[in-house]
Structure 1
Amino acid sequence: MSRVLIIGAGPAGICAAQALVAAGLSPVVVDSAARAGGQIYRRPPEGFTRPATTLYGSEAEKARRLHRDFDALVAQKKIAYLPSSTVMALGPGAAEVVGPEGRCTLKFDRLILASGATDRLAPVPGWELPGTYSLGAAQIALKAQGVALGRKIVLAGSGPLLTLLACQLRHAGAEVAAILDTAPMSGQIRHGLAMACARPWVTLRGLRMRLSLGQSYHAAVSLERIDGDSGGVRALHWRDGRGRAHVTACDMVAMGWHLRADTILADLAGASFEWSSDFAQWLPKRDAMLRAGQGIYLAGDGARPLGADGAELSGRLAALACLHDLELSQDDPAPLQRALARMEAFATAMSRAFPWPAEQVRGLPDRAVICRCEGITARALRALAREAGGDANRAKSLSRVGMGRCQGRYCQLAGAEILAATTGRSPAQTGRLRAQSPARPVTVGQWLRRDPRQDHLTVEPDEDRR
């Protein structure tokens, strides 16, 4: 029987595992979280008392279903599940995984990558100060621990998570002083019509949440700087759509501009990439069945940031492609492909309604920190831009931008804008940072310690399902 490895246990990974099990396969599922669900359906620790309706709102029933179905597969030993484990390296037919018990090598014939996405961040002077987080980090703290990361909070950026998190924090009793959206209202209205055509109920639900924010929501803002010191954040300076200056006192700022597909593992797996002007980032290429190479399938936000519903559909389609290639299914993929096309139309319209703030990034003052891990400023990056020939990887080697803990996940897009503006090129022409192992930081001790479970990780299908 073919050995199938699924990386990621969010909606895409869970749905892929369900489809494979239904066809008689027993995949191995590796996930970095302690409990399956992904970011959108992230689960709190055992014994946590906040109900699902509070954690997930209108998506509570869907979250409960996914959690229940995945837990049943694990309990019935129809999959091998490695939680709190991270794939550090990928080679032909093998993945190096580090978990609580150490490192193990997983052999596979087919690989479904459902690696998810990270926040897409645009630097603002002062964003390196303590008390400044991504929107996703603030949501994780709320879902996983039931805490707000500040007493007086400002949320800034653009995209649906900005509105959703503001509502979630307020529902939990937190004080959200301001919601600052860099997207102009005119673009939101214009592209909102396309969003409504693709997914009317989702668009209506988002509009209702937006209206509930009242006068604390501001569109078309410009973010100038975050004030504070080593003790934390004190205020955020910004300008409204008319250019009027404002200072909002706060002790926590969370920022984010929609999502950035986490493509490091796709790169290590050998996928090809292309620049997406709609999503303003490099995305892996895949065919209509989500294949990115021989035996490699890409699902979920790690390939295209389409949201939870899109992730579920792509997980099922990736599994179906795998089954087709193994000659274990002849099901028609067309219904899944049509549904996924609607999700992509919605996501494309959303990315246009809430665009990446390219001009804001290009105009950052020299003192602004671009790479927080290495402390690289806009001045330093501009100074070597021409020496680097406007090439992202050469700029990385000369400045160390993108070499830190995040491996460019948070600074690559902003760095590309600085390089492009300085050399008169487009971000696509600067290229993308090449991925390298390890995909995440790991201690030497973890890497050297062998996982004693390695010889028992492959799950064989039941006799009556062979």
Structure 2
Amino acid sequence: MSEPKPRILIVGAGPAGIRAAELLAGAGLVPVIVDEAERAGGQIYRRPPAGFARTAATLYGSEAQKATALHRSFDALVAAGQVVHHPRSSVAAIADGQAHVIGPTGSLRIGFDRLILATGAMDRVVPVPGWENPGVYGLGAMQIALKAQGAALGRRIVLAGSGPLLTLLAVQLLKAGADVAAVLDTAPLAHQIRGFGGLAARPVFALRGLAMRARLAGLYNSGVTLGRIDADANGPVALVWHDSAGRERRTDCDAVGLGWHLRAETRLADLAGCAFAYDDAWRQWLPQADAMGRAAPGIYLAGDGLRLLGADGAEIAGRLAAGACLADCGMPAPDPGEDLRRLRRLSRFAGGLARAFPWPGETAAALPDETVVCRCEGITAGALRHSVDIGGGELNRAKSLGRVGMGRCQGRYCELAAAEIAAAHAGLAGAALAGRLRGQAPVRPAPVSALLDPAER
């Protein structure tokens, strides 16, 4: 009698999750895939609803062929019954070899023998005085609205932050006919030049970024310092900032997009028992894994939730994680040599990005006391500093005393800035010493009934 096939659960149907599913299905397994979107593709290749008029070339630009190839591959797997797909579903908790999933028809539990987490990343945001007002979004949220619905969030938009998405979104909005009033990059040109050596690892992408930057012309400003977002009852009316020479500027607007590259989505990795270490280049805590993505017994990580390497890196990491999973199950797996070499080159490029577009930790640490840091709970920088005065600079202690990071996002938006504030106020030598917020279930807002045993409801 043959042994039962291992049950493989993949969380996330972006580039990493899709490539992992392909390899596993090709080996005769039927992985289960849970994804929060209606249609697979992830954030980078997010798909609009069926019947949407905008073309792939319009939505994804130079990456249109890659996007459509991934979409076709995944759709074919689903149609052939080679994968089980749970769209519009979130994993709220992981425990005892089960994922507690909340979907459109309620909750269910999915057992697994092996788990591949391809949870991706989200906006990394520095609070700006006034950012708690309606009409202030993450850059990723603005891009989602544009890709999924063809909608620009605002009539006159200011984009601020740093990193490739800042430039890319500005160009995408302009192509869609939106009124972009200014693109404000906090990274000085000197820092951007400093990272050029690493960016040369992918010269085509580096040159493509420069070409997009040129299209922005006078809209783009580097080395700026953000002052505040002025708002009335309807939302933003202006963003006040200082240019690289220190002169105060004021740009009228009715919407603001903020983002400083990405932060890895790691809450499920935390619940799954993965180890973490502080990454000095990216100024955030990242889960640890070997080159193939093995992070803990039976747990594999892939994509931006492990290494911030973008869509191409995510595809490679998805194949590697699936290959490691097959090998650990005693099944034939492809030679990973070429993928590992490509991943090293992408890592050099990512290092260049981190140097070119640094996280402005010093700016976060110096936020005025009245600035809201935790938007969910309305916690100001002053209140956080008061918590530090009482309990010290450890971030979980500050959370328990003052509720920072205790809202519905579980600190995803405020944790990094809060750590900078707590560490600086406590006199610690860096945000790493403030620690990280511990992951807790449910990792997404969930009804209590979803967490009960079916017999107890």
> TM class, shorter-chain normalised?
over 0.9
Normalized against structure 1, the TM-score is what? 0.95
* CA deviations over 1:206-241 (Å, ceiling 9, x no partner): 111011110110000000000002211100000011
CA distance, structure 2, for counterparts of residue 443 and residue 97 of structure 1: 12
- Are 2:272 and 1:297 aligned? no
Q: How many residues align?
A: 450
Unaligned runs of 5+ in 2: none
* CA deviations over 1:232-271 (Å, ceiling 9, x no partner): 1100000011100000000000000000000000000000
SS of 1:428 mapped into structure 2: helix
Residue equivalent to 1:178: 182
- Are 2:282 and 1:279 aligned? yes
Residue equivalent to 1:148: 152
Q: How far does residue 339 in structure 1 lie from its aligned partner after superposition? A: 0.7
- Are 2:249 and 1:246 aligned? yes
Residue equivalent to 1:264: 267
Query: Amino acid of the residue matched to residue 6 of structure 1?
Result: I
Q: How does 1:14-413 map to 2 (within 5 A)?
A: 14-196=18-200, 198-413=201-416
Query: Amino acid of the residue matched to residue 55 of structure 1?
Result: L
Q: How far does residue 445 in structure 1 lie from its aligned partner after superposition? A: 5.0
Query: Amino acid of the residue matched to residue 409 of structure 2?
Result: C
SS of 2:195 mapped into structure 1: helix
CA distance, structure 2, for counterparts of residue 317 and residue 424 of structure 1: 42
CA distance, structure 2, for counterparts of residue 179 and residue 388 of structure 1: 40
Query: Amino acid of the residue matched to residue 266 of structure 1?
Result: A
Residue equivalent to 1:461: none
CA distance, structure 1, for counterparts of residue 54 and residue 251 of structure 2: 31
Residue equivalent to 1:429: 433
Question: What percent identity do the matched residue pairs reach?
Answer: 61
State the 4+ residue runs in structure 1 displaced beyond 3 angstroms.
444-451
C-alpha contact (below 8 Å) 1:102/1:448 kept by paired residues: no
CA distance, structure 2, for counterparts of residue 349 and residue 375 of structure 1: 35
Q: How far does residue 331 in structure 1 lie from its aligned partner after superposition? A: 2.8
CA distance, structure 2, for counterparts of residue 144 and residue 205 of structure 1: 24
SS of 1:386 mapped into structure 2: helix
C-alpha contact (below 8 Å) 1:156/1:180 kept by paired residues: yes
SS of 2:85 mapped into structure 1: strand
Query: Amino acid of the residue matched to residue 251 of structure 2?
Result: T
Residue equivalent to 1:459: none
SS of 1:189 mapped into structure 2: helix
SS of 1:47 mapped into structure 2: coil
Q: How far does residue 389 in structure 1 lie from its aligned partner after superposition? A: 1.7
C-alpha contact (below 8 Å) 1:103/1:449 kept by paired residues: no
Q: How far does residue 194 in structure 1 lie from its aligned partner after superposition? A: 2.0
SS of 1:213 mapped into structure 2: helix
CA distance, structure 2, for counterparts of residue 6 and residue 432 of structure 1: 25
SS of 2:390 mapped into structure 1: coil
C-alpha contact (below 8 Å) 1:103/1:448 kept by paired residues: no
CA distance, structure 2, for counterparts of residue 330 and residue 48 of structure 1: 39
After superposing the two structures, state which structure 1 stretch, 442-451 or 353-362, moved more: 442-451
CA distance, structure 2, for counterparts of residue 111 and residue 16 of structure 1: 11
C-alpha contact (below 8 Å) 2:100/2:451 kept by paired residues: no
CA distance, structure 1, for counterparts of residue 298 and residue 396 of structure 2: 29
SS of 2:290 mapped into structure 1: coil
CA distance, structure 2, for counterparts of residue 168 and residue 96 of structure 1: 37
Residue equivalent to 1:456: none
CA distance, structure 2, for counterparts of residue 231 and residue 282 of structure 1: 36
Normalized against structure 2, the TM-score is what? 0.97
Which of 12, 30, 50 is residue 8 of structure 1 equivalent to?
A: 12
After superposing the two structures, state which structure 1 stretch, 419-428 or 329-338, moved more: 329-338
Query: Amino acid of the residue matched to residue 83 of structure 2?
Result: I
C-alpha contact (below 8 Å) 1:109/1:295 kept by paired residues: yes
CA distance, structure 1, for counterparts of residue 448 and residue 329 of structure 2: 38
Unaligned runs of 5+ in 1: 452-466
* CA deviations over 1:309-347 (Å, ceiling 9, x no partner): 000000000001001111212432221111111111111
Q: How far does residue 173 in structure 1 lie from its aligned partner after superposition? A: 0.2
Query: Amino acid of the residue matched to residue 137 of structure 2?
Result: Y
Q: How far does residue 419 in structure 1 lie from its aligned partner after superposition? A: 0.4
SS of 1:387 mapped into structure 2: helix
Residue equivalent to 1:460: none
Q: How far does residue 304 in structure 1 lie from its aligned partner after superposition? A: 1.4
SS of 1:104 mapped into structure 2: strand
CA distance, structure 2, for counterparts of residue 434 and residue 291 of structure 1: 21
Query: Amino acid of the residue matched to residue 435 of structure 1?
Result: G
CA distance, structure 2, for counterparts of residue 201 and residue 281 of structure 1: 28
